Amino acid sequence: MAVYTEVFDEDLTDFLRHYDLGDVVSFKGIAEGVENSNYLLQTTRDSYILTLYEKRVEPADLPFFLGLMRHLSEHGITCPTPVADRNGQDLRQLCGRPAAIISYLEGLWPKRIQPFHCAALGGPLAEMHLAGEGFALQRPNSLSVAAWRPLLEASAADADQVCRGLASELTAELDFLEAQWPQALPAGIVHADLFPDNVFFRNKALTGFIDFYFACNDYFAYDLAICLNAWCFEPDASFNITKARLLLNAYRAVRPLSADELAALPLLARGSAMRFLLTRLYDWLNHPEGALVRPKDPLEYQKKLRFHQAVRGPADYGLDL
């Protein structure tokens, strides 16, 4: 939960002069999201989210993220859409930060995942993958396998403070992942951070996706592997095969998975567990004193990684092959 940049009234008023959104009725910082500052902006016209992009977001990537949201919206995916200013620009500056106004998406993110959430997630995820086709911009995944070695090296010296033997466990896993990482799978635009807090529901129906600030070009099945980790484990780290089956079957009802994709799923799930384990480990070891955001437990992803290491094949995820 976080609001990093405080926006003063006059700054807001000046900023909104560039838009055609009516008068401000209310403006409140939202205690969600850990990367950027988000405000709920209510005007006489509608509700919006005003986002100030903080230091973890690369400004050069913003046209990709905002353009993608607009592209997906225009291709039938429910997600926030940038609101252009009077000159047709999506991106402006506010309080020294890049800032954008995006449309407000109704719904609540699920705090306790039920099987029906996983069943509802698969289809729209596949639709998003299909809808990304034709988006003109590209962004390589800056947190894929090539990024993991430097991340591990940055944390290796202190990793054993978190869990004895962690550094050598991760080194061995990374050696394996680097050697085995697939060279060619169906790829395109992926969300790459589709945790439950980025998926909204209303009355058991999925209402849309938010937070595209890790979106990039990568294997579609890698996005699915991220969801397996984020949606199909219980709080005690046990794997819920019912949820996985519902998620995967709902996905492949819309976008069938090739034999190669199915075969790669356990490896991609290990890779996805590695990615979140490494970034959480880094944040755990490097979060500043008095930070407003509590770092997430890296060891949750150690347990998930170990589960996938023991998987014999995609059938262990509940799939009928």
Positions touching its own copies (CB under 8 A) are 1-3, 6-10, 12, 23-32, 40, 42, 104, 106-108, 110-112, 201-203, 290-292, 294
* Residues paired with residue 43 on neighbouring β-strands, in sequence order: 24
Please, which residue, 111 or 312, has the CB nearer to its own copies? 111
Residue 46: left (phi > 0), alpha (psi -120 to 50), or beta?
beta
In the complex, least distance from residue 275 CB atom to its own copies, rounded to whole angstroms: 25
* Residues paired with residue 62 on neighbouring β-strands, in sequence order: none
Please, which residue, 253 or 291, has the CB nearer to its own copies? 291
In the complex, least distance from residue 43 CB atom to its own copies, rounded to whole angstroms: 11
The DSSP output letter for 206 is E
Please, which residue, 164 or 204, has the CB nearer to its own copies? 204
DSSP characters over 40-76: EEEESS-EEEEEE--TTS-GGGHHHHHHHHHHHHHTT
In the complex, least distance from residue 7 CB atom to its own copies, rounded to whole angstroms: 8
Specify whether the CB–CB gap between 216 and 61 falls below 8 A: no
Specify whether the CB–CB gap between 317 and 257 falls below 8 A: no
In the complex, least distance from residue 107 CB atom to its own copies, rounded to whole angstroms: 7
Please, which residue, 164 or 294, has the CB nearer to its own copies? 294
In the complex, least distance from residue 177 CB atom to its own copies, rounded to whole angstroms: 33
Residue that is written with structure tokens 């403070």 in the block: 161
In the complex, least distance from residue 57 CB atom to its own copies, rounded to whole angstroms: 18
Spatial CB neighbours of 86, under 8 Å, sequence gap ≥ 6: 18, 19, 20
Please, which residue, 53 or 222, has the CB nearer to its own copies? 53
Which helix (H) or strand (E) segment holds residue 123: the answer is: helix 115-131
Q: Count Cβ atoms below 10 Å from residue 111 Cβ, excluding itself.
A: 7
For 188, the token pair is 């395109």
Please, which residue, 31 or 315, has the CB nearer to its own copies? 31
The backbone torsions φ and ψ at residue 87, rounded to the nearest 5 degrees and listed phi first, read -95, 10
Collapse the DSSP code of 190 into the 3-class scheme (helix H, G, I; strand E, B; otherwise coil) and give the result.
strand
Distance CA 70, CA 222 (A): 23
Please, which residue, 80 or 271, has the CB nearer to its own copies? 80
In the complex, least distance from residue 299 CB atom to its own copies, rounded to whole angstroms: 18
